[in-house]
Amino acid sequence: MLEENMPTLSIMYTQSVITMDERKSETSDQQSVVNDSDDTSMSESNNYGNPENEEEELDKKSNTQENFNILLPRMNVQEKIIICLDLCADLHGSDPFRFGDGTKLSTLNMLKRIVQMFLFCKMTIDTKHEYALMALHRNGASWITHFTDTPSDITNTMATLKSMPQPPECDMSCVFDKIAEIIALPHVSDVSVELPSHIYRVIMLYARTNCRPILGTNCGSAKALTLSPYFFFDLIYVHEPLNDVNKDTCQSIFNDLCTELCLPTSYVFNVGRNPTKLHDCMAKLLAHPLQRPLQEDADYKLLPEEHSN
């Protein structure tokens, strides 16, 4: 069956923002739009599936995912969602997120906020989904909370996590290695007819403006996971407001994240210090991966119909 209440996801998410933070009125939230020129300066198009000079393995991954996306039944099977939270968010005088009422939040606290709202909104849509928490830290990645159908298990643990110093590079291979150690991907004989018992989705919140992600070419776990039709990977890259000094670096990091980690079925966003846009991006990830269109085909705008005379 289809997930219920899908047309009202953005409304539900907005109401959650208001309910979970009583210090802010609805008017304040509407006024919280920050004039971040960087939000439109970096490309968000999902065209990383076919970059020039793409290696044979990436071609195989791209074609496999696109073919499976056409064949898979559009059904609301159980999701097992892995939140990968970056603990090495920008520190040492980095710009905070500013709300319309004057409230300021650090990057890590802002990420915790949107994860909390995402989990409770997702549970409202369907209670059968499960969630796990991974931390991306200075020396790699680690499991924090294993799969649970109780979002408070995640949020209570997440509240205790602290920021860490940021290294010059981030090895993403350990993320896929850790995931491959725990999960068991479902197998069916005919993907176009049979339903899997569940699917897996990683939502990575990467928040390092100057730290390059690296995925080794021999990362077997990444290849095995991304070739499965039941493994999905979404990404939000949160960075400092763009300027003449960091723009090229941020663009390069965003390109690397898209090319190395993301799939044709991925939803990928980049956000500066705009709290409204960050909430909007997280709300777009509420949709079930088997029921949403490709990101390049998604349209969240209402346009007036043209009436012929």
pLDDT digits (tens, 9 = 90+) for 87-98: 998 776 688 999
What does the alpha-carbon distance between residue 94 and residue 99 come to, in Å, rounded to a whole number?
A: 16
Q: How confident is the model at residue 8 (pLDDT cuts 50, 70, 90)?
A: very low
Between residues 5 and 13, the one the model is more confident about: 13
The CA distances from residue 212 to 24, 215, 251, 255, 299, in Å, are: 36, 10, 11, 10, 31
Q: What angle do CA 142, 170, 153 make, to 5 degrees?
A: 30
pLDDT of residue 51: 34
pLDDT of residue 35: 38
Asked whether the beta carbons of 92 and 163 are under 8 A apart, the reply is no
Tokens representing 289 are 């991966």
Cβ-Cβ contacts under 8 Å for 108 (sequence gap 6 or more) = 86, 87, 89, 161, 163, 207
> Going from the N-terminus, what domains does the chain have, and what CATH number goes with each?
76-293 (3.40.50.410)
pLDDT of residue 11 exceeding 70: no
- Mean pLDDT along residues 147-167: 94
The pLDDT score that the predictor gives to residue 217 is: 64
Split at pLDDT 50, 70, 90, the class of 74 is confident
Helix (H) or strand (E) holding 45: none
82: left (phi over 0), alpha (psi -120 to 50) or beta: beta
Ramachandran bin of 227, using left for φ above 0, alpha for ψ from -120 to 50, beta for the remaining angles: alpha
Burial grade of 238 (CB within 10 A; 0-12, 13-18, 19 or more): buried
Query: Average of pLDDT values for 234-239?
Result: 96
Which 3 state secondary structure label does DSSP give 61? helix
Predicted model pTM: 0.79
Q: What is the mean pLDDT of the chain?
A: 80
Integer Cα distance of 109 and 232 in angstroms:
25
Q: What tokens were used for 57?
A: 């393995």
111 against 298, higher pLDDT: 111
What whole-number percentage of the chain has pLDDT above 90? 54
From start to end of the chain, where are the E strands?
A: 78-86, 97-98, 104-105, 130-137, 140-148, 169-171, 198-206, 212-214, 231-238, 268-271
| Cα separation, 79 vs 230, whole angstroms | 10
196 close to 230: Cβ distance less than 8 angstroms: yes
Which residues are paired to 79 by β-bridges? 199
Q: How many CA atoms lie within 13 A of 15 on its CB side?
A: 8
Predicted confidence at residue 196, as pLDDT, reads 92
pLDDT band at 66 (very low <50, low <70, confident <90, very high): low
The predicted pLDDT at position 12 comes to: 41
- How many distinct helices (H) and strands (E) make up the chain? 9, 10
pLDDT digits (tens, 9 = 90+) for 250-282: 999 999 999 888 889 999 999 999 999 999 999
